[in-house]
Structure 1
């Protein structure tokens, strides 16, 4: 039985299983892996084969058996005996002649020798002639083969050259077309640069004109105030409402101080707030007095700022705002400024003479907001 100490004589590793063979002569043990025997083949061997198994070394040491009675050896012996008999028979039928001495040479023999020499000369000349003809034929064949080969190659080269000529003409055409396109592109780039510069100038001019137009438009509204939050009614008297508002903020006015008083359309038609009221006064001084009085009124009672109840409206209290009458562009800019100032935590945003001003706190300087680019100053 195999133990854990059994070592394979081939790989010198310990055999950890029972699948190995023991040589019946030298008693050396070999693993089936080293013997290149599958497990299925090993299990199919019976006990007798396992007990009589010999390793390669022991098989090589066994003596070879006698093979004198093999069919091949018998045939070879018979052939050798028949060959010896045939050689004896042939020797019996051969007539042996005596060698002629040097003194026995006759004129006939010399004559025969001359004939042999003549035959050798004619054979040599024939051989040289045949060799020459063969060389000539081979040379002609080689020359024809080479000529035909090079003729085919030249034809292919001619075709390739014609193709190259066509390709050259196509490339020249494309090159000329490319040069033309390149020139046109350069001209277009120059025109584009010129148009870009011109567009930049025109844009600056348009901005300047818009700014001037906005200033002129705002100048035409310098005596106006805009009131938001006054409820609308079918039989409303805006002059009376405006006088009541001015009396509330302690700035009484007369009828002749109001030039016009009308409602204007809303910026957002979908909004439910009342349409704003625009009042055109006799002077900018009066406008500033009304706005300053409103500011003082709201500061005196921050919990009860100007609302609809102060003007005699019995509905729910709604705040009323009074400001300078701005152009649509300045209104939009003012709205964006307020949003950005609230985001950046600026404390003050106000309008003075058509200009939008912001201030971060009481100790900070006022920043004028003239256009959208000025919004970058709010940090």
Structure 2
């Protein structure tokens, strides 16, 4: 008769052997310094890319029309703008489109550790883009179809104010000092200026035709804005709310500036150009074009690696993302994704 101790040993050995007989678990994703997250507007999901291998390690369902994407200050959460409004190009007769699904509108909350969408927060009608306060407590969300911006209290997950901007608001950016929020109006060609302390629009000024994106300089005194239909980027005085300079990137209607993005040291401005197929590189000090790189079909959202050495561009029609080595200013590879990549961020793990 075996002793209790020997019986336990026999049981443990049997369990170990049984465990060895099980098929091995899939290996964990390759470890890397950061990951690349891309929203896919048409397929309603987000691609997660390991930067060490440039392999897509996950494709996560989000909801309808995921577009704007930003991470929380602590990097634990990714927020994504979701919209039930049908996709419509400029000048399209909206009466020919199916009705919007308002139940799909909101800000998706993606838990980075769990690698999944955990909930959707109501954030006003047809959210397209947004920005997050430095303390991570508020989101400012552009509501495209109602010409407004919603102020979302993240702690209580409720909209505390809805402010009127120009028609078709898209780009939203908080100044580095946290005092102002700039919101672009594609239709009016203006920037609405929101006072964050008062939660009110205090000014509006012209910047050019179809502005979509804003990049503040670190001192909050100036900002770059695209003017898509003018083929330009515009430097504005963020205090006086006036245009300081306009830089022509190319022929109007051919080069269509979309997203503007500053390098970590704010010395270089990167500009995607949609149907122009290129990303332009500008020297901020001289306001001169240094180079342009053809990256793919209709590059829209762009992002930099944390070290600023690699640029990623989301190319909608070709369903891929381009990886640009900024030292050589060449596309080093393209990564195939799903339906119409729109926004992109990088996030250290």
Query: Could you state the TM-score of these two structures normalised by the residue count of structure 1?
Result: 0.24
Structure number with higher relative contact order (C-alpha < 8 Å, ≥ 6 residues apart): 2
Answer 1 or 2: which has greater strand percent: 2
Please identify the structure whose Cα radius of gyration is greater: 1
Answer 1 or 2: which has greater helix percent: 1
